[in-house]
Structure 1
Amino acid sequence: MPVTAVTTDAESLTMTLVADFAAPVERLWDAFTVPSQLSRFWGPPGWPATFTHFDLTVGGRARYRMVSPRGEASHGGWEFLSIDAPHRFDVLDGFLNENGEEFEGMPSMRVTFVFESTAEGSRLVNTTYFESTEALEQMVEFGAVEGSTLAFNQLDAVLQDLREYAQGKGTQTEILSDTHVRITRLIDGPRELVWRAHHEPELVRQWMLGPDGWQMTTCEMSTTVGDTYRLAWEPERGTEGEPFGFDGEVLLSEAPRRAVTTEHMTGTDFPSTVNDLSLYEEDGATLVTVLVEYPDKDTRDMVLATGMADGMEQSFQRMEREVLVR
């Protein structure tokens, strides 16, 4: 993981994050100053950021919003105080309302971004300065340490060419916390078609089958928030196993880049998960990312033990063979 340390200092009223990367300092600078790249990691998993305005000049401002899997939005903004490319910039960072105005009662903070060359590549030293002990403690209680670590640990995928980062690695599973797992798979095809393959029944039926020997018997899809969906499978003759299915609700839909649904095993009292699907395209390839939120660690471990990732990998291979060859 890139982040090597996050420390808070009540005496100096600071929180400092240090992260190392196998990329030159100029590349790291671009990741923090090109809005389309910054949007890929600024929000922690489950709260992706979108920068709606970005004026990289002294006195200029940047604005962004982060949206949770359930559609709640958090808004923030920067005022650039100093810029020394590609080594450093300083901002005044604060919470905004949906109209872009400062959020009363929430602290503003001076934040420095320092980029240093190292023998292995580059280092980021990110320091946040607080006005009071109370403000520092408030941000820590909000989960700033964990959120910043999870966000900046997403940078490796941004700094590398997407195909170099993910091609040939198959379906990757990464445990982020007791209740969160991130699953990634590079698909060699355009995002629009990968989105359709996840939501159009005639395409879903062609690939979302898991191991060979299974068939889909129910495929009721929706991209409308508040609607429900149902999927069901059964083994073909000669294949062992019991029929099963999933149902859930659409929580968020932003075609063709993000969809969030609940997922519940039909006919059981098992708790539901929240599945956050995001699609990012680069050079004709699409990175599929599924962030799964489990109710607890035991449920997480039980699901992972089923070999879920292996079944997903076989399905993704089928998608590339059956759907994306068109």
Structure 2
Amino acid sequence: MPVTDITTDPEKLTMTLEAEFAAPVDRLWRAFTRPEQLQRFWGPPGWPATFTEFDFTAGGRARYEMTSPQGEASRGGWEFVRIDEPASFEVLDSFIGEDGQPLAEFPAMRMVFHFEATDSGSRLVNTTYFVSHEALQQTIDMGAIEGSRMAMDQLDAVLQDLRAYAQGKGTRTEILDDTHVRITRLIDGPRDLVWRAHHESELMKKWLLGPDGWIMTVAEPATEVGQHYRSMWEQEGKPETAFGFEGEALLIDSPWRAVTTEKMIGMEGPSTLNDLQLYEEDGATLLTLLIEYPDKETRDMILATGMTEGMEASYARLEETVLAAV
């Protein structure tokens, strides 16, 4: 994990994040100053950022929007105060409304990003200055410390070539906290086709099968917000083994993000929340699935079923069948 320390100082009214990366300073600088790269990690898991404006000049402005799995939006704006490439830059950071104007109930913060070389790569020191103790505490109460850590811990995937970062590593499962798990897999194919493979019945039945010997008998995807989906499987020749999942689409942003609820058909209890995101680079697609469980016990029970291995078998089949046919 890149983040090495996050500290708050009530006397100086600051919050300071330090992180180290196995990449040179100029590469780290580009990650923070090019919006197409910055938006890949600026929002924490489950709240990805989209920059709608980015004028990286002294006096220039940037605007971004982070969207929750339920479609809630949190908007922010930067005013670039000082730029000293590639060592540091400084911004005034504000929460903004739909009209782009700062929200009065959230005071603006001054943020300084400092980059320096290390023996193994580079170091980021990000210091945020608050106008009052109340503003500092408000930010802490909103989860800024853990959110910042989780956001910066996504940076390794940005700093490396996507294939070098993920190819050949298979399906990886990371436990983020008691109720959140992140699954990643590099799919050797274009994003549009990977998206279609998740949302077209004919394609789903070719690969979304889990271990060998299983077939998908029902594939009714949800392609619009509010639609319900239903998927069922069984072992070949053994209808008594049938099981399935159903849920509702909460957010659809083709071809890069789909958020759905999920629960086993016929079972009582709360649903999980599945947040699928696809990022393409050089003809390959990084699939990220963030799963939110109702509690730690449910998380552990589902992980113990061999879920990761079953997903890897399916993703390998996706590359061997659907993508290879293109």
Q: TM-score range by the shorter chain?
A: over 0.9
The alpha-carbon deviation at position 99 of structure 1 amounts to: 1.5
Q: Give the SS at the match of 2:102.
A: coil
Residue deviations 1:196-225, cap 9 Å, x none? 000000000100000011111111112110
Number of the residue aligned with 1:150: 150
| d(CA) in 1 for partners of 2:46, 2:240 | 34
Q: Shift of residue 270 of structure 1?
A: 3.6
Structure 2 CA distance for aligned equivalents of residues 180 and 295 of structure 1: 9
Letter in 2 for 1:321: E
Aligned residue in 1 for 2:73: 73
Q: Which runs of 4+ in 1 moved over 4 A?
A: none
SS of equivalent residue, structure 2 residue 323: coil
- Aligned to 2:266, the other structure's residue is in SS state coil
Deviation at 1:126, TM superposition (A): 0.2
Partner of 1:300: 299
* C-alpha distance in structure 2 between counterparts of 1:240 and 1:169, whole Å: 34
Match of 2:267 in 1: 268
In the alignment, which residue of structure 2 is the partner of 1:27?
A: 27
Q: Look up the equivalent residue of 1:63 and give its one-letter code.
A: R
Which amino acid in 2 is paired with 1:26?
D
Q: Which residue of 2 aligns with 1:90?
A: 90
Structure 2's unaligned 5+ residue stretches are none
Q: Which residue of 2 aligns with 1:290?
A: 289
1:242, distance to aligned residue in structure 2 (A):
2.3
Matched residue pairs, number? 325
**Distance in 2 (alpha carbons) for counterparts of 1:211 and 1:48:** 32
CA drift at 1:185: 0.3
Q: How does 1:77-226 map to 2 (within 5 A)?
A: 77-226=77-226
Task: Quickly say closer, same or farther: Cα 1:241–1:285, change in 2 above 3 A.
Answer: farther
- The CA deviation string for residues 278-314 of structure 1, in whole angstroms up to 9 with x for no partner, is 0000000000000000011111111100010000000
Cross-structure match for 1:230: 230
User: What TM-score does the superposition give when structure 1 sets the normalisation length?
Assistant: 0.98
| SS in structure 1 at match of 2:317 | helix
Q: Which amino acid aligns with 1:148?
A: S
Q: What's the CA shift for 1:240?
A: 10
Q: What's 2:60 paired with? A: 60
**Aligned partners of 1:173, 1:167: CA distance in 2, in Å?**
15
2: CA distance between counterparts of 1:154 and 1:86? 21
Q: Which amino acid aligns with 1:214?
A: W
The equivalent residue for 2:242 is: 243
* Cα distance, 1:107 vs structure 2: 1.2
Compute the displacement of 1:105 (Å). Answer: 1.1
Counterpart CA distance in 2 for 1:132 and 1:296 is: 36
Return the alpha-carbon distance in structure 2 between the equivalents of residues 271 and 11 of structure 1.
Answer: 44
**In 2, Cα distance between equivalents of 1:290 and 1:204:** 17
Structure-1 separation of matches of 2:99 and 2:263: 37
> Post-superposition shift, 1:19?
0.2
Identity of aligned residues (%): 67
Partner AA of 2:105 in structure 1: G
Q: Which amino acid aligns with 2:107?
A: P
User: Equivalents in 2 of 1:242, 1:99: separation in Å?
Assistant: 54
Distance of 1:105 and 1:211 partners within structure 2: 52
Question: Matched residues in 2 for 1:89 and 1:222: separation?
Answer: 44
Amino acid at match of 2:41: F
Instruction: Describe the SS at the equivalent of 1:202.
Output: helix
Determine helix, strand or coil for the equivalent of 2:241: coil
Amino acid in the other structure paired with 2:147: G
Counterpart CA distance in 2 for 1:22 and 1:318 is 33
What displacement does 1:98 show?
Answer: 1.1
Alignment pair present for 1:259 and 2:258: yes
Distance 2:298 2:222 in 1: 26
Q: List per-residue Cα deviations over 1:215-251 (Å, max 9, x = no partner).
A: 11111112110010000011113x7982110000000
Change in CA separation of 1:240 and 1:174 when aligned onto 2, cut-off 3 Å:
farther
- Residue deviations 1:66-93 (CA, integer Å, cap 9, x gap): 0000000010010011000000000000
Which shifted more, 164-173 or 268-277?
268-277
SS at match of 2:174: strand
Deviations 1:236-277 (A, max 9, x none): 13x798211000000000000000000000001142100000
Q: Deviations over 1:88-110 (max 9, x none)?
A: 00000000001111112111000
